[in-house]
């Protein structure tokens, strides 16, 4: 039934204040209208991003901007991977110019890994708890750069112990930097093509290794043609290689600025839900599935990296390749990874089933090592096969950690993975050198197949 109004009520203006009711006063209405005219906190992004800042290139919420950040994430690791395999690309000249045995040569790789058995885990924890991802990346990149400079100076003056010190420092920075790269990838891309992102990161990293194998011998010959001889020539070449680390340092600084800007504009909360912080005791809470991923990581990688480190002489002896041809076939794994890793990442993103892809990659790698050990088939076939398998594993294994471990513990988790991996690489690299010195490369291949099985 319609409401009945008395005469005075019917004549009252709608917005007239009424002290006897809960209707808003004129002042309250004016205040409300003023608030409607101002941009709210939700509109702050639109208010701040004007001009170039509102374009796809500069808007942190756009895919194009995130892709630019991804390129910088990849380039941050370029110098690390380029310089890591400098000794492998110049294996024969290292031995002759610096008078190194195979065991001493392999020590340049094992000393890289030994400190990271512990320090890599600590580096990941410090990034979670103390430094933060931006400052941590810059600190680890600086340590890496100083280590490479010391390594090059040690070769220049022919002091093996100084070279060992340099590789020790280089390893501390490089492996902790890899933890930072993984954390950056999850921060920017979790839930958005994460497998593809890990694949693309691996791709760029392996581009660094591939370029190293392809250019170091020509650079060495050019420097030698300028009149440098022996250990002096090797030292100058390593100093030139250090320029890639300088480039990566610049990329780390730019990426840190971009991430700080994105966090401010998007009001990103990088802290854990409920204010949780990473603690060393968190290790006890990690699931069994995480530790299984870690075991797979070390068992697989010890059959790849030590082989590539010693592979140049293997191809020269068994297949009678020249130094340049041996370097080319030895770098095939990295060349294939540079192309195939992002493609496999997209495939895993679409299909899921990361564990199945990991299992298939291990089987294919066993087959590739078998071809190298038991046949004289063209080694390019085996190395291409190994490169595809390696790309498949890296694109599907590393994202599993982000699916198992809470985000605020990712630095610690990736640090543990890198630490266990480096323990395996340090031990297996030394054993591999002794196997080559005493039993030859056939026994080395059998050793690697055993690890994969």
> Which of these, 365, 348, 366, lies nearest to 357 by C-alpha position?
348
C-beta separation of 224 from 113 below 8 A: no
Hey, what are 200's tokens?
């693309």
**Long-range CB contact pairs, 373-381, < 8 A, 24+:** 373/442, 373/445, 373/446, 373/449, 376/318, 376/319, 379/315, 379/319, 379/329, 380/329, 380/332
pLDDT digits (tens, 9 = 90+) for 249-294: 999 899 888 888 877 877 766 555 545 555 666 677 788 888 898 8
| pLDDT tens for each residue of 150-189 | 999 988 888 888 989 999 989 888 877 887 887 787 777 7
Beta carbons of 85 and 212 less than 8 angstroms apart = yes
Which ranges constitute the DSSP H helices of 266-378? 288-301, 305-318, 323-330, 332-351, 354-374
Residue in 23, 28, 30, 62 with CA at minimum distance from that of residue 45 = 62
Mind listing the pLDDT tens digit for each residue in 414-439? 878 877 887 888 788 878 888 988 88
What residue spans define the domains of the chain?
59-270, 285-452
Whole-number pLDDT of residue 45: 44
Category of 278 on φ-ψ map: left (φ > 0), alpha (ψ -120 to 50) or beta:
beta
**pLDDT of 69 over the 60 cut:** yes
Is the per-residue pLDDT at 29 higher than 70?
no
CA 429 distance to own-chain centroid: 21
SS3 153: helix
pLDDT at 264: 80
Q: Which long-range contacts (CB under 8 A, 24 or more apart) does 99-103 make?
A: 100/160, 101/437, 102/310, 102/433, 102/436, 102/437, 103/430, 103/433, 103/434, 103/437
Listing DSSP states for 238-278 in one string gives HHHHHHHHHHHHHHHHHHHHHHHHHHHHTT---SPGGG---
Q: What does the pLDDT read at residue 14? A: 41
Res 56: pLDDT: 61
* DSSP classification of residue 52: G
Helices vs strands, H then E, count in the chain: 21, 0
In eight-state DSSP terms, residue 159 is -
Token representation of residue 442: 């056939």
The per-residue pLDDT for range 384-403, each reduced to its tens digit, is 999 999 988 988 888 888 78
pLDDT at 279: 62
Look at the block and give the residue holding tokens 């885990």. Answer: 121
Q: Work out the average pLDDT over 206-215.
A: 82
Counting beta carbons within 10 angstroms of the beta carbon of residue 12, is it exposed (0 to 12), middle (13 to 18) or buried (19 or more)?
exposed
pLDDT digits (tens, 9 = 90+) for 333-356: 878 887 888 888 888 888 878 889
Domain covering 59-270 assigned CATH 1.20.1250.20 in the classification = yes
Query: Residue 55: what pLDDT?
Result: 63
- Alpha helices for 90-159 (secondary structure H): 91-98, 102-113, 119-126, 132-156
pLDDT band at residue 46 using 50, 70 and 90 as cut-offs: very low
Summary mean pLDDT of the chain: 79
Residue 404 has pLDDT above 50, yes or no: yes
Residue 18: pLDDT band by 50, 70, 90 thresholds?
very low
Q: Which class is domain 285-452?
A: mainly alpha
| 215 CB-contact burial (10 Å; exposed 0-12 / middle 13-18 / buried 19+) | middle
**3-state SS assignment for residue 157:** coil
* The pair of three-digit structure tokens given for residue 133, joined into one six-digit string: 């991802």
**pTM of the model as a whole:** 0.67
Q: What is the DSSP string of 412-439?
A: HHHHHHHHHHHHHHHHHHHHHHHHHHHH
For the chain, how big is the Rg over CA atoms in Å? 28
CA distances from 413 to 271, 278, 281, 351, 352 (A): 16, 10, 12, 25, 22
Q: Is the pLDDT of residue 15 over 50?
A: no
Token pair for residue 102?
A: 């195979």
């Amino acid at each position: 039934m319609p409401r009945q109004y008395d005469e005075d009520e019917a004549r009252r203006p709608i917005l007239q204040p009424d002290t006897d009711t809960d209707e808003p006063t004129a002042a309250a209405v004016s205040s409300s209208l003023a608030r409607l005219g101002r941009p709210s906190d939700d509109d702050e992004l639109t208010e701040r991003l004007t001009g170039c800042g509102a374009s796809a290139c500069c808007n942190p919420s756009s895919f194009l901007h995130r892709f630019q950040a991804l390129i910088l994430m990849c380039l941050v690791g370029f110098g690390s991977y380029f310089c890591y395999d400098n000794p492998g690309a110049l294996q024969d000249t290292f031995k002759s110019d610096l008078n190194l045995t195979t065991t001493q040569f392999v020590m340049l790789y094992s000393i890289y890994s030994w400190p990271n058995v512990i320090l890599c885990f600590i580096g990941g924890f410090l990034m979670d708890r103390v430094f933060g991802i931006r400052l941590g990346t810059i600190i680890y990149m600086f340590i890496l750069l100083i280590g490479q400079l010391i390594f090059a100076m040690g070769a220049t003056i022919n002091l093996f112990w100084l070279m060992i010190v340099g590789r020790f420092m280089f390893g501390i920075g490089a492996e902790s930097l890899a933890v930072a790269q993984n954390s950056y990838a999850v921060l920017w891309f979790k839930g958005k093509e994460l497998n593809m992102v890990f694949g693309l990161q691996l791709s760029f990293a392996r581009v660094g290794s591939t370029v190293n194998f392809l250019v170091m011998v020509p650079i060495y010959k050019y420097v030698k043609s300028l009149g440098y001889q022996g250990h002096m020539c090797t030292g100058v070449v390593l100093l030139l290689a250090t320029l890639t680390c300088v480039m990566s340092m610049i990329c780390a600084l730019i990426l840190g600025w971009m991430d700080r800007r994105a966090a401010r504009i998007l009001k990103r909360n990088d802290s854990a839900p409920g204010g949780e912080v990473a603690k060393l005791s968190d290790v006890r809470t990690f699931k069994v599935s995480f530790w299984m991923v870690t075991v797979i990581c070390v068992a697989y990688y010890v059959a790849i990296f030590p082989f590539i480190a010693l592979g140049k002489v293997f191809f020269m002896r068994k297949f009678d390749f020249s130094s340049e041809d041996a370097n080319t076939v030895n770098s095939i794994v990295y060349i294939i990874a540079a192309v195939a890793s992002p493609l496999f990442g997209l495939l895993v993103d679409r299909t899921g089933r990361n564990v199945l892809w990991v299992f298939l990659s291990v089987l294919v790698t066993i087959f590739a090592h078998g071809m190298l050990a038991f046949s004289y088939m063209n080694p390019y076939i085996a190395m291409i096969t190994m490169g595809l398998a390696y790309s498949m594993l890296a694109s599907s294994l590393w994202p599993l950690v982000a699916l198992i471990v809470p985000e605020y513990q990712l630095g610690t988790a990736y640090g543990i993975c890198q630490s266990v991996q480096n323990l395996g690489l340090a031990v297996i690299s030394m054993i591999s050198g002794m196997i080559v010195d005493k039993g030859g490369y056939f026994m080395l291949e059998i050793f690697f197949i055993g690890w994969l099985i």
